[in-house]
Chains A and B, each alone.
Chain A
Amino acid sequence: MQNFIYMVEAMASPSIIAAAFAGCLWGMMGGSLPGISTSIAMALLLPFTFDLNPSTAMVLLASVYVGAEYGGSIPAILIRTPASGSAAATVFDGYEMHRQGRSGEALGLSLVGGTIGGLVGLIVLATSTETVAQLALLFTPPAYAALGILGISVVASVSSGAMVKGVIAGILGLMLATIGTDPISGVGRFIYGQADLLEGISIILIMMGLFALSEQMMQAGQPDMAADPEARRSTRLVLPSLKTLWRLRVPQVIAWVLGLIEGLMPGGGGSVASFMSYNEAKRWSKEPEKFGHGSEEGVIAPETANNVVASTALIPTLSFGIPGSNSTAVLLGALLIHGLQPGPLLFARHPEVVYGLFGGLFIANFAMLALGVVLLSPIIWLVNQPKPFLQGGIFILIMSGVYSVNNSTFDLGLVLGIGMLGFTLRALGFPLLPMVLGAVLGPMIESNYRRSLMMGGGDLSIFVRDPVSAVLLGLALLMLVTSFIRESRHAGKAG
């Protein structure tokens, strides 16, 4: 009961409310700029939190996290440029909706779905952090590696009529992830003497090249002066009705569950949950054929999932002191700066900070909704300007964002190369989603694969002996085999 009072007190505190709104606004701005990741947006604010009391400081930073998770979906929907990995799955149907003149609808679904998802995650966070955190302990290195493989298999298996191409794209993504210094032995791989490649290719560069630059090249092929005429019809935000939200309950529930599970595990930072939610929503949908062609379910599922993760990722951070992503690592750093030691004792020693943070996050989710309602209509208007202006602006936004990652012109060259690769693959009918997921999950898969083999003395049977890993790998195999049989039958009938 006392903890609930701490939450209510925080929600009524003017300084907490101001911190939640300010953090959310900054996060939405930072999150929507390619290259300015959630963690960078948080880190830029960190020095300003030194003089704040711990509760306000935590709420400010956590609100940046919430706002940035939503902000990433704005360019994903409007200009096919996901600003973060967790917004990448939104591109497919969100951008299609934009092209059909339904930008307002897509952004509304993303905003409301994200807010509800954030609140669901928050309820889990506030009520069952200590219990739910035990689930994370079930995941051993073999299970993590298997989870990554399952993620790519799921995405590849639902690549419409192109499962083989989907798997190939996933493998190419994993290959991109192997470039750079091997984290275990320190050996440089595929770097060919380039010092800029020692740290590997940042995922943001891969996404900018594959999604954004390849789309600009595609757009250049249709050089009409005006913006997409259908897209121009949409100039304002359209919030979904309760009826629509009820109709879209299945993808939302899927996203809640997957977001909760991923939030508990370090690694993906919302990416796995949003990709898997997208694919499970497609699998369970009554209209799977609409996915990739502007499906509402295809927008709300990933957007809900990544906002659930924004809350649930705090569970391992607060309970064990294990940050699941760079963003929660910044939050962890802020806790330590304010003399708070994360772990089970944090709940006993400083309940006012922990539950004050939960109260502030509650406000932050509503702040996200309010700010979205105010800001999104002018943003939609902006991206409906004629192509000669719009394409130039988008190009500079992409290149400036890419440059700001490492302040390197070499990265710009890399994006050009990846953009050409993305354009070629798209032209040949290869799906890009498995490739991006391969690149996102590659480091997690490889490190856990090798760690597992070290644990098992080089014996691959460790992946079958671990029950969680065995189930996940079995599911991955089942999905690929059934998809291949279905595709072969379909091809046979067509012949």
Chain B
Amino acid sequence: MRSRLANAGVGLWAGLVLLAFSFLYWMQADALPRSSLGGSVGSDGLPKLLGGALAVMSCLLIVQSLLASPEKRQQDREGLPSRLELLRALGFWVIAAGFVLALPWLGYPVAVAAVLLAIGMYYGRRPSAWLIGFALAGAAIFYLLFHTLLGVPVPTGIFMDLLAR
């Protein structure tokens, strides 16, 4: 049993996390305020049902991973991304998060140019005139498409505000 627990790996841990989440979700659903307009089920009816269903399915996942054959467990482990792949994926996510945080301050055109440059460099391009030109042209095209043509009120940021003065 001990070796089964040690080897159950991915499915077991995913099942345990989901089981914990299902309890948390159920408790949050239970804490929802009641309303006389809610009818016989109430606003917490479906969420509680879903919390319960997730708990049952999480238990099934745990049992399944404990009973899985060694070949299946090996297959599951091989399907996981390598450490390098994981780090590179997280790196991309950090660049994306940086863009989201900088967008209101830098404004759409500047933030777009900066992120195009950053992603280009993240994929191994050196900061050449060609890459900078691509970033600037990309920012201009996307600005024209979304702001000018489609009328989306994109964030202007400090630079555009200064220009407007």
Which A positions have Cβ atoms within 8 angstroms of B? 36, 44, 164-165, 167-168, 171-172, 174-175, 178, 182, 184-187, 189-190, 213, 216-218, 220-223, 225, 387-389, 391-393, 395-397, 399-400, 403-404, 407, 409, 412-413, 416, 419-420, 423, 427-430, 445-446, 449-450, 453-454, 457-458, 491, 494-495
21 A-B residue pairs with CB within 8 Å: A164-B57, A171-B50, A172-B54, A184-B38, A185-B42, A186-B35, A218-B89, A221-B85, A225-B125, A388-B121, A395-B99, A396-B115, A399-B100, A400-B146, A400-B152, A428-B10, A429-B10, A430-B14, A446-B46, A453-B41, A491-B67
A435 → chain B, closest Cβ, in Å?
A: 12
Q: How far is it, in angstroms, between the C-alpha of A189 and the C-alpha of B54 when the chains are bound?
A: 18
> Nearest residue in A to B90 (C-beta to C-beta)?
A217
Cβ 8 A contact of A223, one of B28, B45, B81, B88: B88
Q: Is there an interface contact between A164 and B123, defined as CB atoms closer than 8 Å? A: no
Q: How far is it, in angstroms, between the C-alpha of A190 and the C-alpha of B53 when the chains are bound?
A: 18
A450 → chain B, closest Cβ, in Å?
A: 5
Interface residues of B in 35-86 (CB under 8 A from A): 35, 37-47, 50, 53-54, 57-58, 60-61, 64, 67-69, 71-72, 76, 79-82, 84-86
Asked whether A171 and B57 contact (CB < 8 A) given A184-B38, A217-B93, A429-B76, the answer is: yes
Q: How far is it, in angstroms, between the C-alpha of A223 and the C-alpha of B87 when the chains are bound?
A: 12
Which B positions have Cβ atoms within 8 angstroms of A? 10, 14, 18, 25, 28-29, 32-33, 35, 37-47, 50, 53-54, 57-58, 60-61, 64, 67-69, 71-72, 76, 79-82, 84-86, 88-93, 96-97, 99-100, 103-104, 112, 115-116, 119-125, 131, 134-135, 138, 142, 145-146, 150, 152-155
Q: Is there an interface contact between A225 and B96, defined as CB atoms closer than 8 Å? A: no
Q: Is there an interface contact between B104 and A416, defined as CB atoms closer than 8 Å? A: no
Q: Is there an interface contact between B122 and A220, defined as CB atoms closer than 8 Å? A: yes
Q: How far is it, in angstroms, between the C-alpha of A36 and the C-alpha of B151 when the chains are bound?
A: 12
Q: Is there an interface contact between A409 and B68, defined as CB atoms closer than 8 Å? A: no
Q: Is there an interface contact between A185 and B115, defined as CB atoms closer than 8 Å? A: no
A445 neighbours in B (Cβ, 8 Å): 46
Q: How far is it, in angstroms, between the C-alpha of A428 and the C-alpha of B12 when the chains are bound?
A: 11
A44 neighbours in B (Cβ, 8 Å): 150
A68 → chain B, closest Cβ, in Å?
A: 14
Q: Is there an interface contact between A454 and B40, defined as CB atoms closer than 8 Å? A: yes
Cβ 8 A contact of A423, one of B76, B89, B152: B89
Q: How far is it, in angstroms, between the C-alpha of A409 and the C-alpha of B116 when the chains are bound?
A: 18
Q: Is there an interface contact between B120 and A168, defined as CB atoms closer than 8 Å? A: no
Q: Is there an interface contact between B37 and A186, defined as CB atoms closer than 8 Å? A: yes
A454 neighbours in B (Cβ, 8 Å): 39-40
B53 neighbours in A (Cβ, 8 Å): 171
Q: Is there an interface contact between B91 and A220, defined as CB atoms closer than 8 Å? A: yes
B50 neighbours in A (Cβ, 8 Å): 171, 174-175, 178
Most chain A beta carbons < 10 A, residue from B25, B67, B119, B153? B119
> Nearest residue in B to A454 (C-beta to C-beta)?
B39
Cβ 8 A contact of B81, one of A185, A221, A225, A419: A221
B64 neighbours in A (Cβ, 8 Å): 164, 491
B93 neighbours in A (Cβ, 8 Å): 217, 416, 419-420, 423
Q: Is there an interface contact between B46 and A403, defined as CB atoms closer than 8 Å? A: no
Q: Is there an interface contact between B72 and A416, defined as CB atoms closer than 8 Å? A: no
Q: How far is it, in angstroms, between the C-alpha of A427 and the C-alpha of B89 when the chains are bound?
A: 11
Q: How far is it, in angstroms, between the C-alpha of A172 and the C-alpha of B17 when the chains are bound?
A: 13
Q: How far is it, in angstroms, between the C-alpha of A387 and the C-alpha of B76 when the chains are bound?
A: 29
Q: Is there an interface contact between A388 and B46, defined as CB atoms closer than 8 Å? A: no
Q: How far is it, in angstroms, between the C-alpha of A495 and the C-alpha of B80 when the chains are bound?
A: 21
Most chain A beta carbons < 10 A, residue from B43, B124, B150? B43
A216 neighbours in B (Cβ, 8 Å): 92, 96
Asked whether A182 and B43 contact (CB < 8 A) given A220-B89, A396-B112, A494-B71, the answer is: yes
Q: Is there an interface contact between A217 and B89, defined as CB atoms closer than 8 Å? A: yes
B148 → chain A, closest Cβ, in Å?
A: 13
Q: Is there an interface contact between B123 and A213, defined as CB atoms closer than 8 Å? A: no
> Nearest residue in B to A425 (C-beta to C-beta)?
B14
> Nearest residue in A to B125 (C-beta to C-beta)?
A388
A213 neighbours in B (Cβ, 8 Å): 96
A182 neighbours in B (Cβ, 8 Å): 35, 38, 43
Q: Is there an interface contact between B84 and A168, defined as CB atoms closer than 8 Å? A: no
Q: How far is it, in angstroms, between the C-alpha of A294 and the C-alpha of B98 when the chains are bound?
A: 35
Q: Is there an interface contact between A409 and B41, defined as CB atoms closer than 8 Å? A: no
Cβ 8 A contact of A187, one of B32, B40, B120: B32
Q: Is there an interface contact between A427 and B125, defined as CB atoms closer than 8 Å? A: no
A453 neighbours in B (Cβ, 8 Å): 39-41
Q: Is there an interface contact between B96 and A419, defined as CB atoms closer than 8 Å? A: yes
Cβ 8 A contact of B100, one of A184, A186, A223, A412: A412
Cβ 8 A contact of B33, one of A187, A400, A416: A187
A391 neighbours in B (Cβ, 8 Å): 119, 123
Closest 7 CB pairs of A and B: A221-B85, A495-B69, A220-B92, A185-B38, A458-B40, A388-B123, A185-B35
A427 → chain B, closest Cβ, in Å?
A: 5
Asked whether A491 and B72 contact (CB < 8 A) given A184-B38, A225-B123, the answer is: yes
Q: Is there an interface contact between A175 and B54, defined as CB atoms closer than 8 Å? A: yes
A387 neighbours in B (Cβ, 8 Å): 123
